[in-house]
Chains A and B, each alone.
Chain A
Amino acid sequence: MRILFNRRICSGHARCNEKGPDVYGLDEMGYCLPRSPIVPPELEEQARDGARNCPEGALTIVED
């Protein structure tokens, strides 16, 4: 599983970090910083939850 993150439309809701703290970190402004573009199997649920809760639609999950 991979994460596609559109930095341009992230506006700092930080919902990804709330739902998937081990997958999505935050920068100093509270904007998303995915910890890694590749998601290990044990974190896939967090990755999906975080992406689905982004109000901006800035996160896309690619299931390989």
Chain B
Amino acid sequence: MTEAQAGPSPPTTPDHVPASLVFSYDFSGDPMFATAPVDAPEHLTRGAPDIFYSPLNGGFWVLKRFDDMREVSRRPDVFSNYPAGIPATVGRSRKMAPIEIDPPELDRYRYTLGPALAPPKVKAMEDQVRSIAGPLIAACAPDGRADFVEAVSSKLPVRMFLRLVNVDDSESEPLRILHRQLFSGATVEARIHAGVTLEKYYTDLVRQRQDNLGDDLISRYITATPEGGAFSFEDVVDATMQLFVAGLDTVTNVLSLTWDYLARHPEMQQLIRDDPSIIPSAADEMLRYTGIISSTRTLTQDFEFNGVRMKTGDRVLMPLNLANRDPEVFPDGGEVHFGRKINNHLAFGSGPHRCLGSHLAKLEMVVTLEEWFRRVPAFSLDPHDPALSHGGHAFGMDRLPLIWEAAR
């Protein structure tokens, strides 16, 4: 299917990888991610073995099956979270916490942050999310058109996170723009510049917070005394930055891809208009269906995994989108059913690194759907202004111009 397969194995295929398992998968740069990212992982890996080796990006294993991804996520002793990214992020002097931290050291992060983002606490944030989503949507509803990414999906999560760390709303625009550049900047230099600027911003924020403690998430890290020891200044800076990196781009992308799907499927919009009580179930279904995250692991030892010989240092990619369409778990996984009864999807990962923000992410989706459908009639893609998406470890959308009949 892909060109790289036709020729001899590229040099990045190590000796222990049999030729029968080599299959190129470009999860970041394949052009299909620009137009149809949600279907791209399945389409681009069709015909590949359940566990295969892609020689691109320095070489990495790819898992296709739900059970395999769950098993790997549960074996941090063999499949470490360090280093993150394929190819690995280089040039940092320390591990990025907590994404690159394995258990048991991970536990002190989870036990510090977990209770603050558990379902009862998140439920209490509903009014806050609504007070952000409502005005964003009300502002564009009369226009009859909007780039959904620019107007709603990239603005909502940054404003919500600033409340969680008790920072004034006025900081949201510069931060939002920097975070967009970090993931979607036109050049590597622009992305690196955004990363450096953001790191300085969060360092300053934590330094100021040390003298102004409150009940926000940063203060929580600063004052925590978990088993395993209190957090150093650098730990808190990393954890704060990670909170934003994990919580902004992901929510923006799932929201955007959900609205992209709805814009292409007027009959699915109608289901929500007819019965808004299906929104929570619809949100889970769209989390499953989009499955935007591809997590990475690294072998800490030579290991035979389900008949495949892997070696120390081998990289592993887990496209959760594929787990969420595994025919053994979701026989009709390529279809969207808002009322899906059994929806044990892995959109938030599995095991000790399960996304701690999952409950907030889902609340943001539910509230945004509710507020949108209260205010905006049937909408569709703007035929004169095409949407644009991108691949990567979290695939998503750069722009999504929508049109609808404006209120008179």
- A residues 20-38 with Cβ under 8 Å of B? 26, 28-30
Interface string of A29-64 (1 = CB under 8 A from B): 110000000000000000001001111110000000
A53-B344 contact in complex given A11-B351, A26-B120, C-beta closer than 8 Å: yes
Alpha-carbon separation in the docked complex, A11 to B377 (Å):
39
Contact B348 A13 (CB under 8 A): yes
Contact across chains for A9 and B344 when beta carbons are under 8 A apart: no
Is A28 within 8 A of B119, CB to CB?
Answer: no
State whether the Cβ of A15 lies closer than 8 Å to any Cβ in chain B: yes
The contact of B74 among A9, A12, A14, A49, by CB within 8 Å, is A9
User: CA of A9 to CA of B67 in the docked complex: distance in angstroms?
Assistant: 13
A26 pairs with B118, CB closer than 8 A: yes
Q: Please indicate the chain B residues that have their CB under 8 angstroms from the CB of A49 in the complex.
A: 341
Interface size class of B (residues with CB under 8 A): 20 to 34
In the complex, residue of chain A having the shortest beta-carbon distance to the beta carbon of B351: A11
Is the beta-carbon distance between B344 and A29 smaller than 8 angstroms?
no
Chain B residues 248-273 with CB under 8 Å of chain A are: none
A33 to chain B, nearest CB (A): 12
Residue pair A30, B344 in contact (C-beta under 8 Å): no
The A-contacting residues of B in range 74-118, CB under 8 angstroms, are: 74, 110-111, 114-115, 117-118
Q: Which residues of B contact A12 (CB under 8 A)?
A: 114, 118, 354, 356
User: In the complex, which residues of chain A have a beta carbon less than 8 angstroms from the beta carbon of B342?
Assistant: 52-53
Contact code string B345-360 (vs A, CB < 8 Å = 1, else 0): 1101011101010110
B345, A55: Cβ atoms closer than 8 Å:
yes
Contact of B119 among A11, A26, A53, A56 (CB under 8 A): A26
Q: Does B9 touch A at the CB level, under 8 Å?
A: no
Distance between A12 CB and nearest chain B CB, rounded to angstroms: 6
Which of B70, B343, B352 is close to A53, meaning CB atoms less than 8 Å apart? B343
Closest residue of A by beta carbon distance from B352? A11
Q: Determine the distance from Cα of A52 to Cα of B356 in the docked complex, in whole angstroms.
A: 21
A13 to B352, CA, bound (A): 11
**Central interface residue in A12, A28, A52, by most chain B CB within 10 Å:** A12
* Whole-angstrom distance between the Cβ of B287 and the nearest chain A Cβ: 11
Question: Are B74 and A30 closer than 8 Å at their CB atoms?
Answer: no
Question: Which residues of chain B are within 8 angstroms of A11 by Cβ–Cβ distance?
Answer: 350-352, 354
Residues of B within 8 A of A30 (CB): 114-115, 117-120, 359
**Given A14-B359, A18-B280, A55-B346, 5 other A-B residues pairs in contact with their CB atoms under 8 A:** A11-B350, A11-B351, A55-B348, A56-B350, A57-B344
User: Would you list 11 pairs from A and B whose C-beta atoms are within 8 A, ordered by A residue?
Assistant: A12-B354, A26-B120, A29-B110, A29-B114, A29-B115, A29-B118, A30-B118, A52-B342, A53-B343, A56-B350, A56-B351
Instruction: Identify the A interface with B (CB < 8 A).
Output: 9, 11-15, 17-18, 26, 28-30, 49, 52-57
B residues sitting closer than 8 Å to A (CB atoms) are 70, 74, 110-111, 114-115, 117-120, 280, 341-346, 348, 350-352, 354, 356, 358-359
